[in-house]
Chain A
Amino acid sequence: MIKITFYLFALILIFAASRVITVKNPVHAALFLVLAFFSSAAIWLLLQAEFLAIALILVYVGAVMVLFLFVLMMLDINVNSLREGFVRHFPIAAFVGAVILLEIILVIGAWHKLPTPEAATALAAVPNTQALGMVLYTEYVYPFEIAAAILLVAMIAAIALTMRPHTRAKYQKPEEQVSVRREDRIKIVKMPSETKD
Chain B
Amino acid sequence: METLLYLIITLIKIVLIVVPLLLCVAYLTYAERKIIGYMQVRIGPNRVNFSAIPGLRKIPGFGQPIADALKLMFKEIIIPTNSDRFLFVIAPMLVMAPALAAWAVIPFSEGGWVLADINAGLLYILAMTSMGVYGILIAGWASNSKYAFLSTMRSAAQIISYEIAMGFALVGVLMAAGSLNLSDIVAAQKGSFLHWYWLPLLPLLFIYFISGLAETNRAPFDLAEGESEIVAGFHVEYSGMLFAVFFMAEYANMILISTLSAVMFLGGWLSPFEGIELLLGENWFTALLIRASFLWLAIKISLFLFLFLWIRATFPRYRYDQVMRLGWKVFIPITLVWIVVLGVAILAKIPPWFA
Q: Give A contacts to B, CB under 8 Å.
A: 1, 25, 27-28, 31, 34, 50-51, 54-55, 57-58, 61-63, 66, 69-70, 73-74, 127-129, 171-172, 174
Contact = CB atoms under 8 A, between A and B. Distances in A.
Interface string B83-111: 01001000000000000000000000000
B83 to A, nearest CB: 12
A28 B124 CA distance: 25
B192 interface: no
B120 interface: yes
Interface in B115-157: 118-120, 123-124, 126-127, 130-131, 133-134, 137-138, 141, 149, 152-153, 156
Given A129-B123, A172-B321, A61 B131 contact: yes
B36 interface: no
Given A27-B141, A129-B180, A50 B131 contact: no
Contacts of B325: 174
Contacts of B138: 31
B292 interface: no
A50 B117 CA distance: 13
Contact of A127 (B84, B119, B160): B119
B322 interface: yes
Given A27-B84, A57-B127, A73-B152, 17 more contacts: A31-B138, A34-B134, A50-B118, A51-B120, A51-B123, A58-B130, A61-B127, A61-B130, A62-B130, A62-B163, A66-B160, A74-B153, A127-B119, A127-B120, A129-B180, A172-B322, A174-B325
B87 A62 contact: no
A66 B137 contact: yes
Contacts of A127: 119-120, 180
A62 B120 contact: no
Contacts of A61: 127, 130-131
Contacts of A25: 84
Given A62-B131, A63-B130, A172-B322, A55 B119 contact: no
A35 to B, nearest CB: 11
Contacts of A31: 87, 138
Interface of B: 3, 84, 87, 118-120, 123-124, 126-127, 130-131, 133-134, 137-138, 141, 149, 152-153, 156, 160, 163, 180, 321-322, 325
B137 A129 contact: no
Q: Name the residue in A1, A58, A61, A171 with the highest tally of chain B Cβ atoms < 10 Å from its Cβ.
A: A58
A128 B119 contact: yes
Contact of B141 (A55, A73, A129): A73
Nearest to B160: A66
A3 to B, nearest CB: 15
A21 to B, nearest CB: 19
A58 B123 contact: yes
List the 6 shortest-distance A-B pairs measured between CB atoms, nearest first: A62-B130, A127-B119, A58-B127, A57-B127, A54-B123, A73-B141
A27 B87 contact: yes
Contacts of A69: 134, 137, 141
B175 to A, nearest CB: 12
A33 B133 CA distance: 16
A69 B84 CA distance: 15
